[in-house]
Amino acid sequence: MRLFWKVFAVLWLATLLVGGSGFLVSRALQQDWLLLQFHPQLRDFAEQLVGTYEQQGPAAAQHWLETQRQEHRLRAQLYDDQGRSLLPGTLPALPRFETSTPGQQPPTRFRHGRIFQLAWNSSAADYQLTLNIPAPELFRWQRTPFALIANITLAMAVLAFISLALSRYLTAPLQRLGQAAQQLAKGRFDASTLEHIGQRRDEIGDLARRFQTMGDRVQSLLDSQRQLMRDISHELRSPLARMRLGLAIGSKQELRPDDPLWQRLDKECTRVDRLIDDILTLSRLDTQDLPPEQFDLDWMVNDVVEDARFAAHGQQTLEIDGHTHATLRGWPEQLAAALDNLLRNALRFSPADGVIRVRLETTRRSYRISVEDQGPGVHEGWLEQLGEPFVRVPEQPADSGHGLGLAIARRAVARHAGTLSFSNRQGDGFIAIIELDKNPQTQGL
């Protein structure tokens, strides 16, 4: 059974049970009240009798009682507030009626019907009324309570409509979420389909907003993956084509072992191997198969800078300014690889006598690592695209890589709940800034 009909049935049946049990309880406790309310002749019996007595006199009131006895088999007697009889009445002259006075509690049920002791207050005086209803009249009312059945039927219809609307209100957003999940599974997620549900202020609205955030993220990853595969195929096509051409030439000519063609093929193989390593490194950053660990941020930065000094062979100067005294929880190898990529770029584009400065700072919300060089910088239009896979600046040399170093660095920093941004220094120079969130709960662990 669908959730919609389950919710509808549960709400409807629960409402009916509560209403029905309440009705049965009220019927069991107040049967006299129900009889007087729903019987057409009893509803205004006391008011009509007292009104006729006060306005037209005892004779007219007695005649009205005789009419009620003949037409509806209802017998009654009227008393004043002291219990004195005001009319001859129409009650049968039987011992049980003669011994029952208005001040006493009469039996609740007789073999031939029921007797009621009523009180009525008018503007002129107070009255008491003894009313006898025969068994056939009681049986006819209890067997065919048309007004009661009509009211119950109407209540059931109204409750069914309310339950239907409430069930639709609860299940329609869930159905929409299911359709959005199917679209996401097919890689065609559209966040606009959940905007109306996301405006709700209940748990379903929270679920829709979280699902929308998840869907946007997954769709972005799927789009990035497709673009990455297209870029990988493009980057691999050029070296493979050159290798195929070199092998074709080598197969037709008898080349010496020291022929430059073999060196060219070896260089192309090295480039392909390096590209594959970068792609594997980039893909490993999307998995969390290794548990995080605590590490000292300043010690990690100093260790990476020392390795970069060794690789610089004394041509450039590397300096460290400041400290953070921070202990983070994450993956120090990945963060060190990100910083190493930034330092290698700085060494590649800085002049031979240039100075590369690594600054460590602590702000109110984050720890900051900035790498400043004295290179030519990057055109402002390309700063936003740096860090995307296979993005290369037009002035960049052909042998300077495939554009994956900064992408790996940005992905590693993002995994530690941080950001990587780039800017140009005034004059000559380039700045890469890593900001890591201080709050350990927000780190990508």
Return the closest-CA partner of residue 102 out of 244, 120, 18.
120
The single-letter DSSP state of residue 40 is T
- Give the C-alpha distances (Å, rounded to integers) separating 395 from 113, 311, 319, 373: 110, 24, 27, 17
Would 12 be classed as within a structural domain?
Answer: no
Q: Which residue has the higher pLDDT, 38 or 243?
A: 243
Instruction: Report residue 235 as tokens.
Output: 């980057």
27: pLDDT strictly greater than 60: no
pLDDT for the residue numbered 296: 93
d(CA 266, CA 252): 19
pLDDT for the residue numbered 381: 66
Give yes or no: residues 296 and 437 share one domain.
yes
Select from 121, 144, 167 the last residue of a domain: 144
- Give the C-alpha distances (Å, rounded to integers) separating 222 from 79, 185, 229, 382, 404: 92, 11, 11, 24, 18
d(CA 442, CA 445): 8
**For residue 31, what pLDDT band results from cuts at 50, 70 and 90?**
low
240: pLDDT strictly greater than 80: no
Most confident of 135-139, 178-182, 287-291, 388-392: 178-182
- Other beta carbons within 10 angstroms of residue 217's beta carbon come to 11
Select from 236, 260, 284 the last residue of a domain: 284
Q: Which residue has the higher pLDDT, 382 or 312?
A: 312
DSSP character string of 281-341: HHHHTT---SPPEEEEHHHHHHHHHHHHHHHHTTSSEEEEEE----EEEE-HHHHHHHHHH
Question: Are 291 and 326 a contacting pair, CB within 8 Å?
Answer: no
Give yes or no: residues 275 and 312 share one domain.
no
Q: Which residue has the higher pLDDT, 195 or 433?
A: 433
pLDDT for the residue numbered 442: 41
Q: How large is the C-alpha radius of gyration of the chain?
A: 47
E strand segments, 124-280: 126-134
Percent of the chain with pLDDT over 70: 69
Say which CATH number the domain at 246 has: 1.10.287.130
Give yes or no: residues 269 and 307 share one domain.
no
110: pLDDT strictly greater than 50: no
pLDDT for the residue numbered 299: 94
Give yes or no: residues 84 and 130 share one domain.
yes
Give yes or no: residues 230 and 348 share one domain.
no
pLDDT for the residue numbered 358: 93
- What is the side-by-side strand order in the sheet with 126-134? 75-80, 126-134, 113-121
Q: Which residue has the higher pLDDT, 12 or 304?
A: 304
- The three-state secondary structure class of 398 is coil
Instruction: Report residue 330 as tokens.
Output: 């994450």
Would 179 be classed as within a structural domain?
Answer: no
pLDDT digits (tens, 9 = 90+) for 201-237: 777 778 888 888 887 777 776 776 666 666 666 666 6
- Other beta carbons within 10 angstroms of residue 13's beta carbon come to 12
- The three-state secondary structure class of 259 is coil
Arithmetic mean of pLDDT, 96-124 = 63
pLDDT for the residue numbered 414: 85
26: pLDDT strictly greater than 70: no
Please, what is the average pLDDT of the chain?
Answer: 76
Give yes or no: residues 279 and 301 share one domain.
no
Question: Are 82 and 72 a contacting pair, CB within 8 Å?
Answer: no
Would 340 be classed as within a structural domain?
Answer: yes
- Give the C-alpha distances (Å, rounded to integers) separating 117 from 55, 63, 104, 105: 23, 21, 9, 8
State which residues form the domain around 74: 39-144
Say which CATH number the domain at 92 has: 3.30.450
Give yes or no: residues 207 and 274 share one domain.
yes
Give yes or no: residues 417 and 279 share one domain.
no
pLDDT for the residue numbered 98: 46
Task: Count the domains in the chain.
Answer: 3
Instruction: Report residue 51 as tokens.
Output: 């009104």
pLDDT for the residue numbered 352: 82
Say which CATH number the domain at 332 has: 3.30.565.10
Return the closest-CA partner of residue 386 out of 366, 361, 370, 409.
409
Q: Which residue has the higher pLDDT, 391 or 74?
A: 74
pLDDT for the residue numbered 274: 66
Give yes or no: residues 318 and 207 share one domain.
no
Select from 101, 128, 144 the last residue of a domain: 144
pLDDT for the residue numbered 79: 92
- DSSP strand pairing (327-330 vs 366-373): unpaired
Question: Are 292 and 330 a contacting pair, CB within 8 Å?
Answer: yes
Would 46 be classed as within a structural domain?
Answer: yes
Would 328 be classed as within a structural domain?
Answer: yes
Give yes or no: residues 73 and 134 share one domain.
yes
238: pLDDT strictly greater than 50: yes
